[in-house]
Structure 1
Amino acid sequence: MLKRMNLLQQRKKRDDMALYTILAVLLGTGALIGLTTVSGLSLADREAKETARPANMVVTTIASPSCTDCFPLDSVLASLASQPVNLEEHRTVSFPSDEATGLISTYNIQRLPAIILTGETDKENVRSFLSSIADVRNGAMVWTPPQPVYMDAATGEEIGRVSITVIRDASCSECTDPSNTIAQLERMGVRQESLTMLDWKTSEAQQLIGTYALTAVPALILSSEAGLYPPVVQAWTGFGTTTEDGTFVASMRIPPYTELPGGRIRGNVHLTAITDAACSSCYDVGAHRKILEQNFGVRIADETTADINSASGKQLASQYGITAVPMILLTGDTKAYPNLVTAWKQIGSIEEDGTLVFRDVGVMGTYYDLRKGTVINPSSDSAPAGS
């Protein structure tokens, strides 16, 4: 009996030891899992904080004080300040000091002014921005002017001012004003070296007309420095040509203009409106002029109105087979507007004498049908004449 009790006690002790071992393993595993989880969260937090932390940088600006209209640095520095950047130091050195010359050599800088960025320039939260405005050079990010005016770092010469020559017809007051195009060039950042205005009949203008085979004036001639301005190069593709020596040339065939060599003024159009005074609900024929001027750039040199019941109105109705009013006729130099001529084929007719006759009056609104003797409202039923 005693022996049996000893065996039972020994077995219980072994079972208890096994249970303790299992509990210890489970508790240890749980602690390890918990520790790993806490450690993982801490690592993620640290990585997030590091990613969000502003990049520490030192900015060195190489200024060119003598170049008063060189590409401005303010906008570039303002863009940099808007990024997650901690500027530990901002230094400015002036060209042509020894320090500036040394930096130019170290970072192979050709254009001034320049901005040199050192420090955490490859940090993830600024990498994309910096790569969009600067180049990697000798371990730093270096910004230089993308277009003139800038200073040649090797010679100190100021580069990029454009000489502009305008040839025009001084006697044509209605011709296209080239000053609008010059203003557009200025908005593209173009800086002028000089602006020369010539009448096309002068000997100097005639020489340029022959040299560049100009076919119309106003004409615009830009010196080769215009090629240093990417926006100008892009815009000029559909506007003018570039010669072998890099000169930018454009005959501005935007009506009205003077055609060369004869000197004929192109683009003056005459508008004749035919109305019915008795039709108070008919559409406003004046809407045609707005469409012609705003959508097609047509210059209406003069405008006349004829009532359909007048002698001139009846004569025009008979001559051009007019069946509805109000409507318009266009005469004069309509061929100077090829887009208008193309569009007109869908809304009217082009007669043998060149007159453009508007016929699709329903697209304009309420009109008077001469054949039916009724006022037609395309959006509702017809009404009796005189309403």
Structure 2
Amino acid sequence: MNEVNQNNTKINFWFLVAVSGFMVLGGIVSIIFFVRTNMLANKKIAESAEANRPANLDLITITDSSCTDCFNINAVLDYIKKENVKVNSEKTLDKNSDEGKALIAQYSLKKLPAFVLKGEFDKVLNLAEFFSKTGDITEDTFIFRQVGAPYTDTDTGAVKGRIKLSLLTDISCTECYDVTQHELILKESFGIDTTANVVDTKSSAGQALIRTYKIKLVPTIVLSGETDEYPGLKSVWSQVGVVASDGAYVFTTGVPLMGTYKDLTTNKVVTPAPPAQTSAQE
């Protein structure tokens, strides 16, 4: 009987040892699983934080401080800064400064204003297409070259792309379309941002424009100056106007597209018929 009890005692002992062992093993496995899960979670959190972290950039802008009407480089910089970026350092240099001259030579800058960016471009994928279309990009440096007019030619120091805009209208024609609409169109579509001169057809200046460019429909516009610096405008102008012998761009065939106008040859106000609408079945 004692022998049976001893055997039972031994069995219970080893059973308890086995159970304890499994419990300890289970605890170790649980701890390992917890630690591993926690490490993976921390890794994902770190990766997410890194992905969302703003790209660190350093900016240097090179300008011609004497050109107050040159291309608005700040509009481009504002576009970049709206993305997930952090500009750690920002510096503006004049083209005549020693550092400015050095950068113009180093990066072969032909037009000013321009800028050079350095930093983590792999983190701003939203700007990848912009960078590829507007300049040169290496591993950590971007050089902006798509400078609009007016700009300073670094080879000659001359400002190119200045435009004179004359808005010719018959002030007495209250039904006629607003000639100042052209300012917004030129700015938003072709980057031409210049001070316009509104001229009445009855003024001496207005009469001179009418005679010089054989203008028959008003309101209209006359663009003179370095219009060749605006290739976008040049490519579409034949659809809405003519180029005069002196190079001026005169808005002619496009007048009826703008709205009500005055025909100077008949002295009558004309309201064009609205364009025919295409039915959904056609």
TM-score bracket for the superposition, by shorter chain length: 0.7 to 0.9
Quote the residue 1:292 is aligned against. Answer: 186
Quote the residue 2:18 is aligned against. Answer: none
Q: What residue identity is the alignment partner of 1:366?
A: T
Quote the residue 1:310 is aligned against. Answer: 203
Residues 163-174 of structure 1: matches in 2 within 5 Å? 163-174=58-69
Q: What residue identity is the alignment partner of 2:144?
A: A
- In the aligned structure 1, how far is the partner of 2:222 from the partner of 2:172? 20
Residues 52-131 of structure 1: matches in 2 within 5 Å? 103=39, 114-115=43-44
Per-residue deviation, residues 207-255 of structure 1 (Å, max 9, x unmatched): 1111111111111111253344323333201111124x64211124123
The structure 1 residue matched to 2:129, chosen from 234, 239, 264, is: 234
CA contact (8 A) 2:218 2:262 kept: yes
- In the aligned structure 1, how far is the partner of 2:146 from the partner of 2:196? 23
Q: CA deviation at 1:289?
A: 1.6
Quote the residue 2:148 is aligned against. Answer: 254
Quote the residue 2:264 is aligned against. Answer: 370
Residues 1-387 of structure 1: matches in 2 within 5 Å? 103=39, 114-115=43-44, 143=48, 145-146=50-51, 161-243=56-138, 246-305=140-199, 307-360=200-253, 361-379=255-273
More helix by share: 2
CA contact (8 A) 1:147 1:229 kept: no
Question: What are structure 2's unaligned runs of at least 5 residues?
Answer: 1-32, 275-282
Identity %: 31
Higher relative CO (Cα under 8 Å, sequence separation at least 6) belongs to 2
Query: Cα gap change, 1:288/1:59 in structure 2, threshold over 3 Å: closer, same or farther?
Result: farther
Normalization by structure 2: what TM-score?
0.74
Per-residue deviation, residues 106-132 of structure 1 (Å, max 9, x unmatched): x7xxxxx8426xxxxxxxxxxxxxxxx
- In the aligned structure 1, how far is the partner of 2:49 from the partner of 2:34? 13
What number of residue pairs does the alignment pair up? 241
Give the RMSD, CA atoms, in angstroms: 3.1
**Secondary structure at 1:254 match in 2:** coil
Report the structure number with the largest CA radius of gyration. Answer: 1
CA contact (8 A) 1:267 1:299 kept: no
**Secondary structure at 2:51 match in 1:** coil
Q: What residue identity is the alignment partner of 1:145?
A: E
- In the aligned structure 2, how far is the partner of 1:164 from the partner of 1:285? 40
Per-residue deviation, residues 11-67 of structure 1 (Å, max 9, x unmatched): xxxxxxxxxxxxxxxxxxxxxxxxxxxxxxxxxxxxxxxxxxxxxxx998xxxxxxx
Query: Cα gap change, 1:364/1:228 in structure 2, threshold over 3 Å: closer, same or farther?
Result: closer
CA contact (8 A) 2:240 2:251 kept: yes
